[in-house]
């Protein structure tokens, strides 16, 4: 199964695409969609939507997954993140992809085996699970790959998709 993982962000939305049977994962593509911080929010959201549509067109995933919005002290930040997440959900729905959403705890547990893992531990395990020789340069792309890995492992294990 080909899965697109999305790490939502207002200025940088990471994406990672993997092929997986639920046990063995192979990197297909990764990157970051950058939205210019000088533009108004609605224009950034449009840039993110265009970028996600292009990623879906280029890689033709069968499923997509995002991380649930987590609580943060700054309500404005959470609301902006929720807007980006909404754009991602609409884009995925327009493409007719299977969809999954997971809490940060679920993603970390699926990738590292420990729900309170540090970001570096997640990145190290993503690299290991994908058999990569080098570190993933973008935290956003690495987080997106972790979400994609979580989706396929939960799907194969019979968990909610």
Mind telling me the catalytic residues? 7, 67, 140
- Domain 2-156 indexed as CATH 3.30.420.10: yes
Q: What percent of the chain has pLDDT over 90?
A: 83
In whole angstroms, give the CA distance from residue 100 to residue 53.
18
Orientation angle between helical segments 119-129 and 139-156, nearest 10 degrees: 60
Phi, psi values for residue 107, rounded to 5°? -65, -50
Query: Is the confidence at residue 92, as pLDDT, over 90?
Result: yes
Domain boundaries, the chain: 2-156
Query: Is the confidence at residue 161, as pLDDT, over 60?
Result: no
Per-residue pLDDT tens over the stretch 54-75 = 999 999 999 999 998 776 667 8
This model's pTM is above 0.85: yes
In whole angstroms, give the CA distance from residue 3 to residue 148.
6
Q: What percent of the chain has pLDDT over 70?
A: 94
Query: Is the confidence at residue 115, as pLDDT, over 50?
Result: yes
């Amino acid at each position: 199964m080909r899965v697109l993982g999305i790490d939502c962000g207002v200025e940088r939305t990471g994406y990672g695409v993997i092929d997986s049977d639920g046990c063995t994962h192979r990197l297909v593509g990764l990157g970051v969609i950058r939205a210019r911080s000088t533009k108004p929010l609605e224009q950034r959201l449009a840039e993110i939507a265009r970028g996600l549509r292009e990623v879906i067109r280029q890689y033709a995933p069968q499923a997509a997954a995002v991380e649930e919005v987590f609580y943060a002290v700054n309500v404005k930040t959470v609301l902006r993140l929720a807007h980006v997440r909404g754009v991602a959900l609409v884009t995925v729905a327009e493409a007719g992809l299977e969809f999954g959403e997971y809490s940060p705890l679920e993603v970390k547990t699926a990738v590292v085996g420990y729900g309170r893992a540090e970001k570096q531990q997640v990145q190290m395990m993503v690299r290991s699970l994908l058999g990569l020789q080098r570190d993933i340069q973008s935290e956003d792309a690495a987080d997106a790959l972790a979400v994609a890995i979580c989706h396929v492992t939960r799907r194969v294990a019979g968990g909610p998709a």
